[in-house]
């Protein structure tokens, strides 16, 4: 375990100090995209713009932020990111890396106490310490691991209500767990509270700024498919199938692709709901 911890520290240190870190050859986004922290700097720029009372979704030269991708999170994230803008972009990025590492340490601590079988215990800790997607999260300054870690803690810790809500506000992907927990009455209020907070901090804002809603909706739900090896996912798979099969109908009516994504999402939610229901029944018996 000490060896794995040493490897983890070495990789994280390499990400922080080297332009071409140890993970550089492993990912499309490290080789062909912007440099370290590009996703984080999108949030940093949104914080700067919010402080200056302009749209957080604007792509502009603020004279402070280096390279960045488009900001595509909720407005509340940009408002919270204003606190980071009192630091330089590089220092703020370093702080975010330290926060992610802190979340990982807490995650490891919970796993250490929660798994009794030593084989699963060691395997789980090892996967967390040398996890390639996690290292890519660090490189890009992403928020996925933070959202997942907060979601997990939100379902097992006493302060779960606030942690799960924070996870949803940071990145609403945490809402995908709702079909799995709907059978557990103890989680109902947690889920409803998170959804209520999500609507409360977003709907009035977007109603007051409809042009920002158009951008937010477009970039998150209507954007095209980037067909490159750094864009794995269902849309990428469907895009490859359309290209390889030369399906002209989907080329001409790309909205059918979005319908298919919704159908797959609904079918997956029903499957998760059904599987969780069977698991709960077996556990009770």
The DSSP secondary structure of 198-237, one letter per residue, reads HHHHHHHHHHH-HHHHHHHHIIIII-----STT--SHHHH
State whether 199 and 240 are in the same domain. Answer: no
Which range, 49-53, 103-107, 125-129, has the best average confidence (pLDDT)?
Answer: 49-53
**Does residue 137 fall inside a structural domain?**
yes
Whether residues 151 and 267 share a domain: the answer is: no
Residues 175 and 253 grouped into a single domain: no
Angle, CA 198 vertex, CA 167 and CA 273 arms, to 5°: 70
Considering the domain architecture, whether residues 243 and 170 belong to the same structural domain is answered as no
Query: How confident is the model over 227-273, as pLDDT tens digits?
Result: 566 666 666 776 677 777 766 666 555 566 667 667 777 777 777 66
Q: Is residue 221 part of a domain?
A: no
Predicted local distance difference test score (pLDDT) of residue 1: 74
Indicate if 192 and 63 belong to the same structural domain: yes
Residue 240 shares a structural domain with residue 170: no
Q: Global pTM?
A: 0.84
253 and 136, same structural domain? Answer: no
pLDDT score for 228 = 61
Q: Is position 280 within any domain?
A: yes
Residue 270: closest CA among 148, 189, 152, 180: 180
User: What does residue 223 show for φ and ψ, rounded to 5 degrees?
Assistant: -70, 150
Q: Which of 181, 115, 219 is nearest to 211 (CA)?
A: 219
CA-CA distance, 145 to 138, in Å (whole number)?
A: 9
Query: Would you call 82 helix, strand, or coil by DSSP?
Result: helix
Same domain, 199 and 236: no
Residue 223 resides in a domain: no
Is 71 domain-assigned? yes
Backbone angles phi, psi at 274, to 5 degrees: -65, -45
Q: Which two tokens stand for residue 232?
A: 């794995």
pLDDT in tens, 62-91: 889 999 988 999 999 999 999 999 999 999
Alpha carbons 198 and 175: distance in angstroms, whole number: 11
- Do residue 171 and residue 236 come from a single domain? no
Statement to judge: residues 107 and 234 lie in one domain: no
Looking at 162, 185, 215, the residue that finishes a domain is 215
Residues 95 and 49 in one domain: yes
- Phi/psi at 199 (5° precision): -70, -40
- The residue-averaged pLDDT of 176-189 equals 83
Alpha-carbon span 87 to 99, nearest angstrom = 15
From 185, 215, 245, give the residue that closes a domain.
215
Residue 80 resides in a domain: yes
CB burial of residue 245 (10 Å; 0-12, 13-18, 19+): exposed
What's the pLDDT tens digit per position in 216-225? 988 887 765 5
- Boundary of a domain, candidates 164, 192, 215: 215
Q: Residue 134: give the domain boundaries.
A: 2-215
* In a shared domain, residues 245 and 183: no
So what's the pLDDT on residue 135? Answer: 94
Please give the tally of structural domains in the chain: 2
CB 279 within 8 A of CB 181: no
Query: Please, which pLDDT band fits residue 282 given cuts at 50, 70 and 90?
Result: very low
Q: What share of the chain is helix, strand, coil (3-state, %, to 5)?
A: 75, 0, 25
Residue 222 lies in a domain: no
Taking the mean position of all CA atoms in its chain, how far away is CA 70? 15
The token pair at 17 is 């100090």
Q: How far is CA 156 from the centre of its chain?
A: 20
Residue 277 has pLDDT above 70, yes or no: no
Residue 83 lies in a domain: yes
């Amino acid at each position: 375990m000490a060896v794995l911890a040493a490897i983890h520290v070495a990789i994280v240190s390499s990400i922080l100090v080297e332009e071409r870190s140890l993970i550089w050859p492993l990912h499309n986004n490290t080789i062909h995209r912007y440099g370290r922290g590009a996703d984080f700097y999108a949030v940093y720029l949104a914080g700067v713009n919010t402080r200056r009372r302009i749209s957080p979704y604007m792509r502009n030269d603020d004279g402070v932020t280096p390279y960045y991708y488009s900001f595509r999170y909720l407005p509340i994230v940009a408002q919270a990111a204003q606190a980071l803008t009192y630091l330089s972009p590089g220092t703020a990025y370093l702080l975010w890396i330290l926060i992610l590492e802190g979340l990982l340490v807490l995650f490891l601590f919970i796993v250490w106490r929660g798994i009794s079988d030593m084989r699963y215990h060691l395997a789980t800790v090892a996967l967390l310490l040398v996890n390639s997607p996690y290292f890519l999260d660090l490189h890009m300054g992403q928020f996925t691991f933070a959202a997942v870690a907060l979601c997990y803690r939100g379902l097992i810790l006493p302060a779960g209500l606030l942690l799960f809500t924070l996870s949803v506000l940071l990145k609403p992907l945490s809402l995908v767990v709702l079909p799995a927990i709907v059978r557990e009455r103890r989680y109902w209020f947690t889920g409803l509270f998170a959804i209520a907070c999500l609507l409360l901090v977003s709907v009035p804002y977007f109603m007051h700024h409809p042009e920002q809603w158009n951008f937010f909706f477009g970039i998150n739900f209507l954007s095209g498919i980037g067909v490159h090896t750094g864009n794995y996912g269902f849309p990428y798979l469907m895009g490859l199938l359309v290209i390889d099969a030369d399906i002209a109908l989907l080329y001409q009516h790309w909205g059918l692709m979005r319908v298919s994504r919704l159908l797959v999402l609904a079918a997956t939610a029903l499957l998760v709901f059904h599987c969780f229901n069977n698991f709960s029944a077996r556990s009770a018996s």
